[in-house]
Chains A and B, each alone.
Chain A
Amino acid sequence: MEIFKKNDKLSFVIHRNYHLLPVLNRFGIKLGIKDKTVDDICREMKISTGFFLAIINTYNNEEYFPREELLTFSPLEITHYLKKTHQYYFLVVIPRLDDLLEKLIASNTSDFKGLKMVDVFYKKYKEELTQHINYEEERVFPYVINLIKNKKIDPRYTIRSFETEHSNVDEKLNDLKNLIIKYLTPDYDENICNDFLITLSLFEKDLEDHARIEDKILMPITIEIENKEGR
């Protein structure tokens, strides 16, 4: 397993895993990075290097778990990153999926019913995902931010009461892939279908990573803070 370090050149990181590109963008990093190291860039952008490394390494390796650094990260930094990720989903990924599916349906030659069903299912999935994300944005993150900024604890909740199930949403995404890969009659433009499936698979990976950051980093830190504040 490869672990990126602060003295690695950022260009090396991208060559190793180009799927990290959107992750870098979430931190406001743009290309044209010359031979700057991870640390150089983070200093320039005023990002905590440790946090940045933890994020790209958890993205790169599912099993990576920065136990030591875990409690040094600021929950504000984490929620900021998670919100940026949500924005990326709504502004980039979902519109791209919408567009590809629309094109896929338009390319269909006969079995309109099958693709129509897939479309209905996709819309249902999107609706659930949106609800889930809105819940985090409107309830969970504000709770965490309030806890940090005001050291105030809303006696009605702890972070555990917000623990939400990611699994239902993940399940549907996987079902969507399986329906297309295994059961849909392939009378459509296959290049468009490939693009759709590839985008969907990358999205799935990104969502898994996102859930890992919430469950394994944000959640334990918040619990720690709650404990300190006497919960």
Chain B
Amino acid sequence: MNRKIFIIHSSEIVRKGINAILRIYFNTEIVMLEKKEELKGFCELTGQEIIIIYENTADSTNTNFFQLQGNNQVKWIAFLNDHEEPAQALPFCKFYITTKTQASQLQKMVSRCWDKTRRHPKTSDSEELTTREKDVLKLVALGHSNKVIAEKLFISIHTVISHRKNITEKTGIKSISGLTVYAILNNLIDTETINPEDLI
């Protein structure tokens, strides 16, 4: 997944300072903006891991963030200017920095933001495969291609792919041979008639 960091602050010194601190440690694209409104230009982004470090002032409306928030994994870090009453923070913002924040603290914060968006396998509520998903899994385990599976089950290839995506999300298993083992462990294929070692 692609990663981006946005630094939004009216002060050029602050923007460039934060940029310099982060560039040492993170091999990520960093975009510096003067105003929050300029984020509009990036609302087309999808499927990215984004961290937005923004000056928390009361001046702007937040409406244009929601598209970005909806199509990407976004984490927010608010920058509070000294001697200023902080504006009400965005509800999903957990981290704050000020001019007193140490460089290492900021780096830790960004690392923690990445950690949270990464690696944690999605845990959907129901892990149980549907009957149709089991049908597809059986055929995957027997080594059939998407095209053959589509023909056998009278569904489109697109639907087969979508089922396979759901199977992998639910089981946490990606490789075909891993799915075959899963199918055998769950007695979805009859190992009496087939030698399982040939399948894996």
Contact = CB atoms under 8 A, between A and B. Distances in A.
A183 interface: yes
Contacts of B174: 171, 174-175
Taking each of B104, B108, B191, B197, which has the highest tally of chain A beta carbons within 10 Å of its own beta carbon? B197
B177 A124 contact: yes
If over half of B's interface residues share one DSSP class (helix, strand or loop), that class is named, otherwise mixed; here it is helix
Contact of A183 (B24, B104, B177, B186): B186
B16 to A, nearest CB: 16
Contact of B175 (A175, A184, A216): A175
B107 A168 contact: no
Contacts of B181: 117-118, 120-121, 175, 179
Contact of B191 (A3, A113, A118, A183): A113
Given A63-B26, A67-B23, A175-B178, A117 B172 contact: no
A1 to B, nearest CB: 5
A114 interface: yes
Contacts of A168: 175
A180 to B, nearest CB: 10
A113 B191 CA distance: 10
Contacts of A67: 23-24, 27
B171 A63 contact: no
Say which size band chain A's interface belongs to: 20 to 34
Contacts of A178: 171-173, 178
Interface string B84-114: 0000000000000000000010011011001
A118 B181 CA distance: 7
Contact of A65 (B25, B186, B196): B25
A124 B200 contact: yes
Interface in B93-144: 104, 107-108, 110-111, 114
28 contacts: A1-B104, A1-B108, A3-B25, A63-B27, A63-B111, A63-B114, A67-B27, A113-B191, A117-B181, A117-B184, A117-B196, A120-B200, A121-B177, A121-B178, A121-B200, A124-B177, A171-B175, A172-B178, A174-B174, A175-B172, A175-B174, A175-B177, A175-B181, A178-B171, A179-B173, A179-B178, A183-B182, A183-B186
